[in-house]
């Protein structure tokens, strides 16, 4: 990959050791002649990544999710350094970042192109999500009645606690907790997983990459909450369906050369097995 000459840092100072690690990596970058800018504020402001070659995010997956919209719009690769818990997106550990950072700056990394969801809830209400779009009643204790269409064909109606629409990247997030499938991140599909459906045969459905989904509320006096990546909420315009599709934009995610998705999954989810252990 091309060497990194302009690098932005987004540092979640509330994470243990993040501020100290940020100072170390910034010093490495400056010694390599890289132009650096940094912030502890996320989501980042519009234009913060403009003209940057890459963005180093130090924190957890939640910190990285606060950068993805701007990074996708500017097509700036994200280097995620994990100072959180699971860290499916922030794939570099602190030790790996310290030892490999000079090589990363020199271009020793690969870039994964991750699909994102485009969601509209009516005129002027629109956003992007890397992991998922959640649709539920704004009152946590209430069920929702939702009718789902795929390319104008009725799929079915649901009485449930909510619906999760997930990318392959987000399949290991809320979707997995709700019983949805793990999907390889290179599969550009959309998974729809109901939360606690009242019909036991309601299970996850996988839609092709170019599907256009519409969700209508059929509950009386029900007001929907649409949450993007668990961080931002969209207001649903009265009478408008929630429309979801895969965005033409991709998030560029920097990874070490030889990165193995299933190695990360085995580690993060603590999968075990005698045969796997013998092969390692």
Q: Per-residue b/e over 66-89, b at no fewer than 16 CB within 10 Å?
A: bbbbbbbebebbbbbbbbbeebbb
Residue of 61, 132, 137, 161 with catalytic role: 61
Q: What is the DSSP letter of 169?
A: G
In 123-271, where does DSSP find H-type helix? Answer: 174-177, 261-268
Q: Are 80 and 64 in contact (CB under 8 A)?
A: yes
- Supply 195's token pair: 């939360």
The yes-or-no answer on residue 157 being catalytic is: no
Contact (Cβ atoms closer than 8 angstroms) between residue 238 and residue 217 = no
Region label for 196, one of left (φ > 0), alpha (ψ between -120 and 50) or beta (otherwise): left
The answer to whether residues 90 and 59 touch, using CB atoms and an 8 Å cutoff, is: yes
Burial degree of 29 (CB within 10 A; 0-12, 13-18, 19+): buried
State the greatest distance between any 2 C-alpha atoms of the chain, in Å, as a whole number: 62
The residues annotated with a catalytic role in the active site are 61
């Amino acid at each position: 990959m091309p060497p990194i000459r302009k690098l932005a840092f987004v540092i979640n100072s509330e994470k243990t050791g993040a501020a100290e690690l940020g100072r170390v990596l910034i010093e490495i970058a400056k010694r390599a002649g890289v132009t650096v800018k940094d912030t502890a504020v996320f989501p980042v402001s519009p234009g913060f990544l403009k003209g940057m070659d890459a963005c180093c995010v130090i924190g957890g997956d939640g910190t990285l999710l606060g950068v993805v919209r701007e990074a996708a719009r500017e097509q700036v690769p994200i280097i995620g350094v994990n100072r959180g818990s699971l860290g499916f997106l922030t794939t570099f550990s602190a030790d790996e970042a310290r030892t490999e950072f000079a090589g990363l700056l020199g271009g020793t990394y690969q870039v994964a192109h991750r699909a994102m969801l485009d969601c509209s809830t009516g005129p002027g209400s629109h956003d992007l999500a890397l992991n998922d779009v959640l649709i539920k009643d704004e009152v946590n204790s209430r069920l929702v009645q939702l009718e789902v269409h795929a390319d104008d064909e009725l799929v079915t109606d649901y009485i449930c606690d909510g619906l999760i629409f997930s990318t392959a990247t987000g399949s290991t997030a809320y979707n997995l907790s709700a019983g949805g499938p793990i999907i390889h991140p290179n599969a550009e599909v959309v998974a729809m997983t109901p939360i606690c459906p009242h019909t036991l045969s309601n299970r996850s459905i996988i839609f092709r990459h170019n599907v256009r989904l519409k969700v209508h509320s059929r509950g009386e006096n029900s007001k929907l909450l649409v949450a993007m990546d668990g961080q931002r909420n969209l207001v649903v315009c009265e009478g408008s369906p929630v429309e979801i599709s895969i965005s033409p934009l991709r998030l560029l995610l920097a990874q070490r050369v030889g990165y193995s998705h299933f190695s990360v999954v085995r580690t993060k989810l603590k999968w075990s097995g005698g045969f796997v252990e013998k092969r390692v």
